Amino acid sequence: MLKRAVVTGIGVLTPVGNNLEEFWTNLTDGKSGVGPITRFDTEGYTSKIAAEVKNFDPADYIDRKEARRMDRFTQFAVASTGMAVENAGLNIEKLNRARCGVILGSGVGGIETMEQQHRILLERGPGRISPFFIPMMISNMGSGQISIHYGLRGFNVTTTSACASSTNAIGDAFKLIQRGQADLMISGGTEAPVTSLAVAGFCSMKALSTRNDDPAGASRPFEAGRDGFVIGEGAVILVLEEMQHALDRGANILAEIIGYGASCDAYHITAPDPEGTGAASAMRMALDDAGLAPDKVDYINAHGTSTPLGDKLETLAIKEVFGEHAAKLAISSTKSMTGHLLGSAGGLEAAVCALSITRGVIPPTINMDHPDPECDLDYVPNNARQKVVDAALTNSFGFGGHNATLIFQRFSF
């Protein structure tokens, strides 16, 4: 018999808040975390804006010496995990740590360290490369450092499926618990891609918004004037537990995870399937996995990146899966405020789903001044909405055609 998996803790470091309450308040107030890039000189860049984490000092969360041996994406992961562990009320010493694991998602890993060390190689030669270069740069070090920090000896891996990475991570962690292979999993995503090379690459693709004179208004999913996504950074970590494990320790259960679907477009390296077939398949798989009828879903946190093609095709896929119920769904893209955290986006949006259930509020899609006629569903424009949410679905779609969907519901026996 399959086990049940619940969410008992959330930790966040995001462009709109470095703790859970600040994050949620700013999201529901419709506050944008986008501004001019401060992490490097943007002279010559077509896009000069990003959603950066503000006022982050790793020494506030991690031993200073240890932090110097971590890339920024790993620092984010370890710091957010500390907040998630505290939020879950976990006593690590009382856990069977052989049955506690970590699965994180990260699309680009330690790209900042890669850039720094490459400059050193070119300017000073191979003998000056740091011995910590490789363990700082590799994408699995976020999950590795969390396990080292807490002594978690269970299943440990990092998923890399572009912007679906952390949705896949949470889905895989859910399945481990469901199969009885883990009591507790730390899962979510971490990403620190606001670097000179990464932003230059996305600029070259013409994927980023160039609304540099209006940073707060640049990310505008489903809106007629959208011109590309805004790159973001941060980490969001969820504590997932087997239901009885959580109940036995008196945990506060925020939501239950009940469905996971994943597919591939098998179409193009960056463009989505023009019929939305892969996205629709992932949603159907998640609904089937949950045993949930489409009309039981109250809220969708959309992938909604603010790209001309992606938003239109996600709308098409939602209509295909939900039929007449699509018009009754509340749908929002929190990327309108947080920007796009790439491989960490799904973790953030999974947290939003859990919080919408437990707090009865749906964050808005801001910057919806002129809705796109081809995006004609209810995107909760500009203002948060009070609503009882019993079941919430979140989508993530990534370069390479990766699609992933998770479903959360209100917990009950």
Segment 47-57 shows an average pLDDT of: 98
Segment 251-262 shows an average pLDDT of: 98
Cβ atoms 259, 24 nearer than 8 A: no
Compute the residue count for the chain: 413
Q: How confident is the model at residue 198 (pLDDT cuts 50, 70, 90)?
A: very high
Please state the pTM of the whole predicted model.
0.98
User: Is the pLDDT at 410 greater than 90, yes or no?
Assistant: yes
Instruction: State the DSSP code for 52.
Output: P
Partnered with residue 190 across adjacent β-strands are 235
User: Is the pLDDT at 63 greater than 90, yes or no?
Assistant: yes
User: Is the pLDDT at 413 greater than 90, yes or no?
Assistant: no
Nearest-angstrom CA–CA distance, 156 and 137: 17
User: Is the pLDDT at 113 greater than 90, yes or no?
Assistant: yes
Instruction: State the DSSP code for 61.
Output: T
Percentage above 90 pLDDT, the chain: 100
Q: How confident is the model at residue 192 (pLDDT cuts 50, 70, 90)?
A: very high
Q: What is the mean pLDDT of the chain?
A: 98
Residue 89 is predicted with a pLDDT of: 98
Per-residue pLDDT tens over the stretch 136-167: 999 999 999 999 999 999 999 999 999 999 99
Alpha-helical regions (H) of 181-299: 196-205, 243-248, 277-290
Residue 219's Cβ-count burial label (10 Å; 0-12, 13-18, 19+) is buried
User: Is the pLDDT at 265 greater than 90, yes or no?
Assistant: yes
Cβ atoms 223, 340 nearer than 8 A: no
**CB proximity list for 134: less than 8 A, separation 6 or greater:** none
User: Which domains does the chain possess?
Assistant: 5-248 (3.40.47.10), 260-409 (3.40.47.10)
Element (H, E) at 23: helix 20-28
User: Is the pLDDT at 395 greater than 90, yes or no?
Assistant: yes
CB-based burial, 288-302: b 16+ in 10 Å, e otherwise: ebbebebeebbbbbb
Segment 284-292 shows an average pLDDT of: 98
User: Is the pLDDT at 115 greater than 90, yes or no?
Assistant: yes
Instruction: State the DSSP code for 30.
Output: T
How many CB atoms sit inside 10 A of residue 308's CB?
Answer: 14
- What is the longest distance spanned by two Cα atoms in the chain? 64
Q: Which of 302, 299, 384 is nearest to 340 (CA)?
A: 302
Q: Write out the catalytic residue numbers.
A: 163, 303, 340
